[in-house]
Structure 1
C-alpha cells in the first residue's frame, strides 16, 4: 500500500464548512472577453466574464441550533459549493489569467492544459474575486443525505499524535504489553469506516476497538474468550457508556457517555458425550424448552411456540418437537393443524419404524439427526437412541 494515497473520511466538519461557504446558484450569461493561444501547446485559451450570475453564501450562524438545516444546504448545493485561493506566485499561466480579471466578478476559462492531471483534456476553471475556485466535490462525496469529506494522509503510522507512553491507564483496565493505543485504532477506523458502519474485532482483548468505535459513533461486534469478556471488555465499555472513561480519544470526540450494547454468552453445547458410554446425548442441563429452541435454531426455524408447533421457517413450513413416541396415528393428529399446501418436520426421541408418511411430512430423530448439523467430531461414534 502506498500510504501517501490513503484517504481518511469523516462527516463534513464545521471547520471545513467555514472554508467552503459560497456556491454558484446561477452562472448567468457568459461573454468572451479575450482569446489567445497558449505558449506551452499553442492551443486556444478563452476567458469569459459572467453577467447576471448569482452567488449564494451559506450562513453558519447559530450552528449548533441550525446544524440539520445547514447540512441540508451543503447536500442541496453540493456540486457548486466552492472556496477561493490565491495561486502560488511561480504559476505564471494562472497569474497571467487572474491579472486580466476584475474583482467582485465571476470568470471562467476554457483551455486544454499541457500538463497536470487534466493534460490533453478540455478543461473549465472558474475564478471569483480574481481568485481560483476550488470545489468541495473534488475532496468530498455524498453518502446518503450526508456530505463526507476525504483527507489525504501523508503518513498513516508515524505521526507523533499516537501516544507511546501511559497506555496502561487507557480504558481503566490492565492489559500489559498487549493494549493498543486508542488513537491508533481511531486512525484505522477513520481510514476504513464512516459513522454508523459496523466494525468487527474477533479478538477483542482489552476492548479497545469496541470502546473507540462507540466513541466514534460506529456500531461494533467484539468477540473474546474467557474471563477477559468480564474483567476487561465489559468493564471498559461500561465506563465508556457511564461517561467515566476520560482517556484515549474521549476528548477528541467530545464523548460524555451514553448508548448501550448487548452482551451475549455462548450456550453450553446441545449434545455432549455420555460420561460412561461412547455415545452422544442431550446435554442434561438443557430443559425441554431449551432443547426445542436449540433445534429450531439448528434447523433454521424461528422459535415461536404456538399450539402444536414450536416454530416456522415460512408461512407454509412448520416444526413440531416432542418427547412422545411418534407413530402414524400421532403424525395424523398433528397434521390436522396443517393446511393442504403446508409442510412439517417432526423431531422426536422415538418413533415407529417404516411409517408410511405423507409427502409433506418428515420425521427426524433426537439426537441422531442433529449430529450431522452440529460441529462435532462424531465420526464412528454411537448416539443415544
Structure 2
C-alpha cells in the first residue's frame, strides 16, 4: 500500500518489490540453513526480528522527513527478506524441540492460525490507516507485532531444548540437505509442486492490490477489508486441518488442498461492484483455507519425517525451489501486467497453480491415505546419519 498510494508505483515497481522480498531465498537460503542447523533456533529468530524492526523503522522516519522513495522500499524489502529466510528456517526446528511428535499437528494449527490472524488483520489496519493518514504510518503496527514476537521468544529461554549436532564440513552438510530433499520421491514431488504453485500465487498477489483498486474500483480501506475477510479462511483452515487429517488421512488431505487451489481463478473473473467484491472475498477465503490447511499438514509431517539436525537444511533446500520461483514470478507478473493488463496476467498465473495441482496429485502420493512414516521411509538420503539426541 505504501508503494501504491504514497509513491504511485505501477505493476513493474510492484514486481520489483515483491521480487526483492523473495530473492534472498535464492542467494542465502542454503548457507542460512547450515547456520541455523548449528545454532539455537530461538537466538536466530530473535536476531532476525531485531534486524527487521530496524529496517522497517526507516520507512516511517523517511516519510516524516519527506525522503521516502521506491528504491528505499526495495532495499528494505531485501533486508527484511534476508531476515525472513533465517526466521522461517529456524522456527520449525524450535517447534520440533518444544512439542512432542504426537502433538505437532495441534501446535502447527495454532501457529498457522495466529499467523493467519495477523495476515487477516494487517490489510484492514493498513487500509484504514492509509485512508486516515499516511500509508507509511501503517508500518508501526508491524513494528509492534515484531516487538511482541521478540518478547515471546526471549521468554522461551527456559524451556528450549538444544539439539546436539553432528560435526561435518559445510560442503557435506549442504550436500546432505540437497540429498534429503531430492533423494526422496515424496519430498521432491512436494517441493516441485510448491514451486509451481508459489510461482502462480505470487504472480497473482503481485498485482492483486492494484487490480482491486484500479479494476474493481475499491478504495484502500475496501481493498484491505476484502483481503481481511478473505484471509479469515486461513484461520479456519488451520483450525480444521488436524481433524480433517485424521478423517481423510494426511496424504489425501494434502492432495485435496492442492487440487482446490485453482479456485483463485474466480478473482480475475470478478467484475466491478458489490457482486464482484463478494466473489473475490469468497475466492480468497477458499484459497486461504486450503493453502493454510495444507501447510499445517505438510509442516507437521516434515518435522517428524526429517531428523532434527537436518531439518533447517531440508527446509531451506525445499524453499530454494518453493520461494525461489517467487521473485521470478513477481518480475514476470509485473512485466505482463504493464503490457497485457492485470486480468490476463492473473489468468496466466492461475495456469501455474493448476499445473502444480496436477503434478502433486499424479506423483507418489497418489492413492495413499497417509504420508509416509519417518521410521519406514526407504528413500531418505540421510538415513545413515546418526540421529542427534536432545
> TM-score, length-normalised on structure 1?
0.21
> TM-score, length-normalised on structure 2?
0.21
Structure with a larger share of its residues in strand: 1
Structure with a larger share of its residues in helix: 2
Higher relative contact order (CA 8 A, sep 6+): 2
